[in-house]
Amino acid sequence: MNLQQQLRNGLLIVLKYILNPLTRRLARFSFGPFSIVRHVGRRSGKHYETPIIVAPVKDGFVIELTYGPDVDWHKNVVAAGGGTLVWYGKEYVIDKIEPVDTETGRAAFSPPQRFILRVLRRKHFEKLKLQQ
């Protein structure tokens, strides 16, 4: 494993054990931009809750995968064929995840969020499609 991968893995561990518990708490109180994705571990079968930032769109939500698709919650939702999103206290069943081009993805977010996404050069967006 090269240095860049080690640093990325270290950052993900810090996020998982320090930042995620705080943002989960904020999401439960419907405060700020945070939502919770509920998913089941693809190997462990354990239930997890991971905070994410979403933008509501017709028939779903758009997400920006800051750390790419190689994060556990994303792999778990894909492997299970879905999960649950809790947004402002309401639960939504995720039926499918599909890629979205960068411009469409950015356009789903508010102007200040779009600005930040552009400055940070974020390009990996996906749509969480909801069960009909």
Token readout for 19 is 């930042």
Would you state the CATH architecture of domain 3-130?
Roll (2.30)
* Per-residue pLDDT of the chain in tens (132 residues, 90 and over written 9): 788 777 767 766 766 666 666 666 666 666 667 889 999 999 999 999 988 889 999 989 999 998 888 888 999 999 999 999 999 989 999 999 999 999 999 999 999 999 999 998 889 999 999 987
Structural domain spans, the chain:
3-130
Query: With left for phi above 0 and alpha for psi between -120 and 50, is residue 88 left, alpha or beta?
Result: left
